[in-house]
A and B are shown apart, each in its own frame.
Chain A
């Protein structure tokens, strides 16, 4: 069964350092999402791509976060510099588009010390 792949699964970094997460969606899925899930809360959408174009990044803290999906396939989410409040699970999801089902990866857990 096809899955959304994410790496790394765990990342520990010190504040002010740079960190990057990678996501490979299910083949053929045009829409890709990055969500942030703080412990005890629900996932919050950071950025949504349709192919290589950004559809929604209204909740992305653009002074330190960036995301790209250059060839419309895999995607990278970067944080620079990391802050203590960035400690969270970063989830990637993909879908065929529209109101179709979102398929989530297992997430990348970030701890900022």
Chain B
């Protein structure tokens, strides 16, 4: 079985400042890793994912995450945030074999970007 812990429930930050949203996971098998974002009044949407290859993955809007197997982490970072990045961010894992579509989500982190 897998589990995900997002270490911060809320992260307030000023516009143009850097941000890191922390995610740790636990699993007895190898995993795929995901970050989903939920903007106000919208459904969850995929931000980025790690399946294999380079441990650093990037999104089209400037976010990046690095898979650290030894620390079982997949922290999300952005060097300079915008007001429009205000949203709920969810880290998720799935097994890399078997039912690879079964996502287990963390509790979520609310990113509040202030002007």
Contact = CB atoms under 8 A, between A and B. Distances in A.
Contacts of A100: 101
Interface in B68-106: 90, 92, 94, 96, 99-106
Contacts of B44: 43, 91, 93, 102, 104
Interface residues of B, number: 27
B90 A102 contact: no
B11 interface: no
Which secondary structure dominates chain B's binding surface? loop
Contacts, number: 65
Interface size class, chain A: 20 to 34
Interface of A: 4, 31, 33, 35, 40-45, 48, 55-56, 91, 93, 95, 97-107
11 contacts: A40-B107, A42-B6, A42-B105, A42-B106, A43-B90, A98-B100, A99-B101, A102-B44, A102-B101, A104-B44, A106-B43
